[in-house]
C-alpha cells in the first residue's frame, strides 16, 4: 500500500533529490577544491569524452597528458606543476557551456582543448569574460576568430589552406578539370567545401554536377551520392570530411567503378583510413599541413604508441602542442597568471611537433604550409610532386 501513500512518495522523491544535489555538490566541490590550490598550473581541458566524437576527444587528451607529464618531469612551468582538469563537452553546446562554467568556477589558469567548433563557440564568451587564455587544440572554425576575443588562439590553421592546396594539386599536377566536392556536413567540412568551391572557380576548374554533394555525418552508405558523382562525369573528388567516412566512401567508390582521383582534406588522414579502405585506399591523396620536423612528429607518435598502445589520432599532435604552447608562454611570462600568459602567447614562436607555431594578432595560427600526401604501402608518404601555390 506504500504505492498509494502520498507521504511515502514525497519522502522518497525528496530523498532522491536531496541525494542528487548532495552528490553533485560534493563531486564538483571536490573538483573545485583540488583545482583551487594555487601552486599548480591548472589547465582546463574541455573535450568531447562522450557522444559521437568521443574518440577524437580521448586521443587529444591522451596527447595532452603526455605533454604535461613531460613538462612536469622537466620542472614544470615557472616552477608550477601542470595539472589537467578535463571536462566533457560532448560536442554539444549545452554540455560545453556547463564544462566551461565549471572550469571557470574552478579558477583554472588556462584552457587547452576543444575539438568541435560548435562546442567551442558557446564556450568562448564564457572564457573571455573570465579573462582566461584559451588555446583551442583542434576546433578551427573561422568564426572563432571573428568575435574579437583577445584571449583565443587556434593551434590548427583554419581549413581553407586544405582547399587551396587541393585545388592547385588538381590543376597543376593531376590535370583534372571536373571536380566533385563531397562534404560531410560538419562545421569543419562545410567550411572547407565552401572554400574549395571558390578555389575551383579561381583556378578555372569546374564543379562537377554544379553543386557540392553533402552527406550527413552519420551516413554509411554512399551509393546515391556515388551515382550522382558518376553521372556528373567528375574526374576528381575532393572530400572534406573525416577519416571514418572517408574509408567507407573510398571503398564504395572503388566498388562502383568510379575512377576519379580521390583527394581528402586533412581530417581524412588517420591510420583507420588506411586499414578501413584497404586496397581501395592505395593511391588516394590527402592534403596536410607540412610538419617541418619530421623527427619530432615521429618521436611523438612513438611515445604515444608506447604510452597508450594505440596510434595517435589526427589531432593528437595538436593537443600536445596546445599544452606546449601554454607551458612556453608561462615560462616566458615567468608566471601562471592568466593575463600575463595571454600577453606571452602573442609572442609565441617555436617549433612544436606540428611545425613552427606563431599567431596572428587575432590568434590564428600562422605560416602553416600545406603538402600533399599519398597512401603507399600501408602508410602516408609525401607525394613526389607538390603543387606551387
* Strand 152-154 versus strand 134-136 pairing type: parallel
* Strand 236-239 versus strand 213-214 pairing type: unpaired
- Interface residues for another protein in 175-194 (CB under 8 A)? 185-187, 189-191
Per-residue binding letters, 300-339, with another protein (x by CB under 8 A): ----------x-----------------------------
- Indicate whether 348 belongs to the interface with another protein (CB under 8 A): no
Residue in this structure with the C-alpha cell 571536380, named with its chain if needed = 179
Among 31, 301, 369, 383, binds another protein (CB under 8 A): 31
- Indicate whether 85 belongs to the interface with another protein (CB under 8 A): no
- For residue 234, how many C-alpha atoms fall within 13 Å in the half-sphere facing its CB? 31
CB distance 227 to 170 below 8 Å = no
- How many angstroms separate the most distant Cα atoms in the chain? 82
d(CA 70, CA 81) in angstroms, rounded, equals 11
Residue 215 vs 333, nearer CB to another protein: 215
d(CA 308, CA 304) in angstroms, rounded, equals 6
Residue 58 vs 160, nearer CB to another protein: 58
Among 104, 111, 154, 323, binds another protein (CB under 8 A): 104
Residue 98 vs 324, nearer CB to another protein: 98
| Minimum distance of another protein from residue 34's CB (angstroms) | 11
* Nearest-5° Cα angle at 103, 188 to 38: 135
- Indicate whether 198 belongs to the interface with another protein (CB under 8 A): no
- Interface residues for another protein in 214-243 (CB under 8 A)? 214-216, 218-225, 227-228, 230-231, 243
Among 91, 112, 167, 181, binds another protein (CB under 8 A): 91
Residue 53 vs 71, nearer CB to another protein: 53
- Indicate whether 288 belongs to the interface with another protein (CB under 8 A): no
- Indicate whether 349 belongs to the interface with another protein (CB under 8 A): no
- Indicate whether 17 belongs to the interface with another protein (CB under 8 A): yes
Residue 224 vs 349, nearer CB to another protein: 224
d(CA 259, CA 233) in angstroms, rounded, equals 10
* Strand 370-376 versus strand 285-289 pairing type: antiparallel
Size of the site for another protein (CB under 8 A): 89
Q: Which three cell numbers stand for residue 169?
A: 594539386
* Integer angstrom CA distances of residue 12 from 17, 20, 21, 343: 9, 12, 14, 54
Amino acid at each position: 500500500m506504500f504505492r498509494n501513500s502520498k507521504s511515502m512518495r514525497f519522502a522518497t522523491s525528496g530523498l532522491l533529490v536531496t541525494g542528487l544535489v548532495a552528490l553533485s555538490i560534493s563531486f564538483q566541490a571536490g573538483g573545485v577544491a583540488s583545482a583551487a590550490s594555487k601552486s599548480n598550473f591548472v589547465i582546463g581541458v574541455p573535450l568531447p569524452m562522450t557522444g559521437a566524437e568521443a574518440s577524437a576527444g580521448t586521443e587529444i587528451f591522451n596527447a595532452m597528458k603526455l605533454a604535461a607529464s613531460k613538462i612536469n618531469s622537466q620542472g614544470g612551468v615557472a616552477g608550477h606543476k601542470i595539472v589537467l582538469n578535463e571536462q566533457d563537452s560532448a560536442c554539444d553546446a549545452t554540455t560545453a557551456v556547463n564544462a566551461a562554467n565549471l572550469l571557470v568556477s574552478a579558477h583554472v589558469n588556462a584552457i587547452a582543448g576543444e575539438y568541435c567548433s560548435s562546442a567551442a563557440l558557446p564556450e568562448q564568451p564564457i572564457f573571455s569574460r573570465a579573462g582566461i587564455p584559451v588555446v583551442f587544440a583542434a576546433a578551427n572554425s573561422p568564426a572563432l576568430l571573428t568575435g574579437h576575443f583577445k584571449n583565443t588562439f587556434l593551434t590548427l590553421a583554419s581549413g581553407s589552406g586544405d582547399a587551396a592546396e587541393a585545388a592547385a594539386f588538381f590543376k597543376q599536377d593531376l590535370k583534372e578539370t571536373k571536380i566533385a566536392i563531397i562534404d560531410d556536413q560538419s562545421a569543419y567540412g562545410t567550411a572547407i567545401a565552401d572554400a574549395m568551391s571558390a578555389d575551383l572557380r579561381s583556378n578555372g576548374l569546374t564543379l562537377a554536377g554544379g553543386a557540392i554533394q553533402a552527406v550527413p555525418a552519420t551516413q554509411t552508405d554512399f551509393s546515391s551520392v556515388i551515382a550522382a558523382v558518376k553521372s556528373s562525369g567528375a574526374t576528381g573528388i575532393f572530400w572534406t570530411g573525416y577519416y571514418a567516412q572517408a574509408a567507407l566512401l573510398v571503398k564504395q567508390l572503388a566498388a562502383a567503378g568510379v575512377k576519379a582521383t580521390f583527394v581528402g582534406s586533412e581530417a581524412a588522414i588517420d591510420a583507420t583510413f588506411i586499414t578501413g579502405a584497404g586496397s581501395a585506399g592505395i593511391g588516394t591523396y590527402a592534403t596536410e599541413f607540412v610538419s617541418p620536423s619530421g623527427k619530432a612528429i615521429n618521436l611523438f607518435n612513438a611515445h604515444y604508441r608506447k604510452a597508450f598502445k594505440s596510434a595517435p589520432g589526427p589531432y593528437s599532435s595538436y593537443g600536445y602542442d596546445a599544452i606546449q604552447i601554454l607551458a612556453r608562454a608561462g615560462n616566458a611570462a615567468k608566471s601562471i597568471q592568466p593575463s600575463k600568459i595571454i600577453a606571452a602567447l602573442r609572442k609565441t614562436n617555436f617549433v612544436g611537433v606540428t611545425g613552427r607555431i606563431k599567431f596572428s594578432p587575432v590568434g590564428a595560427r600562422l605560416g602553416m604550409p600545406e603538402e600533399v600526401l599519398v597512401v603507399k604501402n600501408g602508410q602516408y608518404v609525401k607525394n613526389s610532386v607538390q603543387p606551387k601555390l
